[in-house]
Amino acid sequence: MGAAGPSNDVLDEIFNRTINSRSIFLNRDVLRNDYIPDHILFRDDQISQFGSILAPILRGNKPSNIFLYGKTGTGKTVVARYVTKKLYERILKLNLNTKFLYINTRLASTQYKMLVELGAQLDISLPFTGLSLSEAASRIFDKMKRDGINTIIILDEIDYIVKNYDDNILYEFTRVNNELLNGNFISIIGISNDLKFKEYLDPRVLSGLSEEEMVFPPYTVDELEAILTDRIKTAFRPGVVSESAVKLCASLAASEHGDARRAVDLLRVAGELAEREGSDVVDTDHITKASRSIERDRTYEVIRSLPLHGKLILAAVLAAVLAAPEDINTGRLYSNYTSMARSLGVEPLTQRRISGILSELDVLGVVNAPVVSNGRFGRSKRVKLVVPREVVSRALQEDELISSILK
């Protein structure tokens, strides 16, 4: 074997420095998105209202279905998980047969995968393919009936699954309460970034949900500063994060609709960058670098993790942009999309479903798709790509199917 090369020396130096130096972090998990703090700032009203709606569970009664609305990073998920965690502690003490099931529909990506995950949380093993939605749902509901389980299902980013597929899964959930025995129930907690989400629901589903609604306002700059200062106490060693860094971090996140999640992400990445540089402090320069890094990575990851039809639509947008750089109307886009889908042997979605996915891509900041009036010809969306074409192309190339079309 040959002698160890220079790359090994560099790695040894990095590893030794990491082992021998003192970390600027005390607990970086405090800065993770899935962290549930012991106390939540500036959301007392929402916590109180949410807790009051769910409290009948403690008497064995079905609570109302609830929809939580608000922009990304306004505390919807953390409040939902905080309140249900506290409630579950009481449920265990009272020995009630009640379970909380949590699904992020974007991560599950399809309705069937949602049911597989829900089944796993109820100790039901569903095959990854081969069952219809109704059969998979029936197996889950049969388990609830047999065991007398009351179930609260938290569907995070619920709009994603409805816009990209349909609301069949919600229909299954709403109708099953009529079939459960001995007073058992299923309640839905839906979390959405889109206030207009209900417009996509079938009237039967909307009627069955009969939900209560809560809207979470964006955080102000001052509130974001207070949230960051509170996290810094347990995340970093004393004196590590400069006051100016906190202010810049809060200011950048406030410009993104008061997004606390972005603020905390910025702080974590800035801390990691500072530590890699061997710095004892996190300053404004680290925050600026972190902002650039997150924005670049976020766009790439968003595109790379889109479901097949989302990628097909984006490929259709890319093809139209390369052919003619002006804004694209939905008719031209749909023609591109259906041609690409059929070339892969995939059944195209309806124009209504495509419109929903375009709205999702708009919310994600990948395209701009406002509705414009065409006079007596009606209304349509004008689509414009708002991220670099190179980033879109590179992310789409990672999917072998889409890559074959692009080539």
Residue 219 marked as a ligand binder: yes
Residue 330 marked as a ligand binder: no
pLDDT at 140: 92
Residue 407 marked as a ligand binder: no
Residue 74 marked as a ligand binder: yes
Of the chain, the percentage scoring pLDDT greater than 90 comes to 53
Phi and psi at residue 139, to the nearest 5°: -65, -35
Residue 113 marked as a ligand binder: no
What separation, in Å, do the N-terminal and C-terminal C-alpha atoms of the chain show? 42
The segment(s) of the chain belonging to CATH 1.10.10.10 are: 306-406
Q: What integer is the mean pLDDT of 347-375?
A: 81
pLDDT at 379: 64
- Which fold does the domain 306-406 belong to in CATH? Arc Repressor Mutant, subunit A (1.10.10)
Residue 1 pLDDT more than 50?
Answer: no
Residue 231 marked as a ligand binder: yes
What are the pLDDT digits (tens) for 47-96? 999 999 999 999 999 999 999 999 889 999 999 999 999 999 999 999 99
* Overall pTM surpassing 0.85 (yes/no): no
What are the pLDDT digits (tens) for 136-167? 999 998 998 889 899 999 999 998 888 767 78
CATH class of 44-215: alpha beta
Measuring CA to CA, which residue among 173, 168, 209 is closest to residue 66?
209
Residue 32 marked as a ligand binder: no
Residue partners of 55: CB distance under 8 A and separation at least 6: 63, 87
Q: How many CB atoms lie within 10 A of CB 54?
A: 21
Residue with token string 């100016």: 244
**Domain 219-298: assigned CATH number:** 1.10.8.60
Q: What is the DSSP string of 29-60?
A: GGGSTT---SS-TT-HHHHHHHHHHHGGGGGT
Angstrom CA distances, 359 to 200, 356, 366, stand at: 11, 5, 10
